[in-house]
């Protein structure tokens, strides 16, 4: 009879070996949904971690990132009397791409994780589905194409 520990290790190795191939699929969005903490209309938060930093974003768009022992704040675009309803993130070329819906608008933000600053903000359709990544561009379900290649 085979050792169960060895069998488990072989299975885990096979799963991890297949993981990069799965994450590279073009028919699956690379964006990861962030769970909302709290219940509207009270204050709600989105907490998530990337390979570089830990982030907290409040429903009104105020975000912070912990850098060493202090927090750096940033502000995401949110219309007046609107709140972030859903949020996704994706790390691309060292930057953090945030995709979120606030009120009747959607936004795609490119955030520089080294300088903790927003590089760009692009309006997208509300009610979007997370886009696919093909040829260094994000392809939304309505046909909108947003290049994400080496943007500086």
In the predicted model, is pLDDT for residue 129 greater than 50? Answer: yes
Nearest alpha carbon to residue 149 among 122, 138, 52, 117: 138
Q: How does the average pLDDT of the chain come out, rounded?
A: 84
- pLDDT, one tens digit per residue, over 81-120 is 899 999 999 999 999 999 999 989 999 999 999 999 999 9
* pLDDT on residue 25: 56
Share of the chain above pLDDT 90, in %: 62
What topology is assigned to 33-147 in CATH?
Answer: Lipocalin (2.40.128)
Which helix (H) or strand (E) covers residue 15, if one does?
helix 4-23
Nearest alpha carbon to residue 134 among 25, 23, 20, 19: 25
Instruction: Identify any residues that bridge with 109 across adjacent strands, giving them in sequence order.
Output: 98, 121
Nearest alpha carbon to residue 109 among 66, 67, 40, 63: 63
Q: How confident is the model at residue 29 (pLDDT cuts 50, 70, 90)?
A: very high
Count the Cβ atoms, other than its own, within 10 Å of residue 110. 19
Q: Is the dihedral of CA 137, 111, 35, 66 positive or negative?
A: positive
* pLDDT on residue 26: 62
* pLDDT on residue 18: 44
Mean pLDDT of 26-42: 90
The predicted model scores a pTM of 0.79
* pLDDT on residue 23: 45
Query: Taking the domains of the chain in order of start, what are their residue ranges?
Result: 33-147
In the predicted model, is pLDDT for residue 58 greater than 50? Answer: yes
């Amino acid at each position: 009879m085979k050792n169960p520990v060895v069998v488990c290790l072989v299975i885990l190795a096979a799963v991890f070996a297949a993981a990069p191939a799965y994450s590279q699929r073009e028919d699956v969005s690379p964006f990861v949904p962030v769970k909302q903490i709290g219940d509207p209309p009270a204050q709600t938060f989105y907490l998530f971690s990337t390979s570089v930093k830990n982030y907290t974003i409040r429903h009104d768009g105020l975000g912070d990132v912990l850098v060493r022992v202090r927090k750096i704040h940033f502000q995401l675009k949110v219309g007046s009397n609107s709140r972030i309803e859903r949020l996704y993130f994706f790390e691309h070329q060292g930057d953090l791409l945030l995709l979120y819906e606030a009120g009747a608008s959607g936004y795609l933000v490119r955030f520089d994780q080294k300088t903790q600053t927003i590089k760009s903000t692009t309006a997208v359709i509300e009610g979007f589905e997370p886009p696919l990544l093909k040829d260094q561009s994000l392809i939304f379900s309505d046909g909108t194409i947003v290049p994400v290649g080496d943007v500086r």
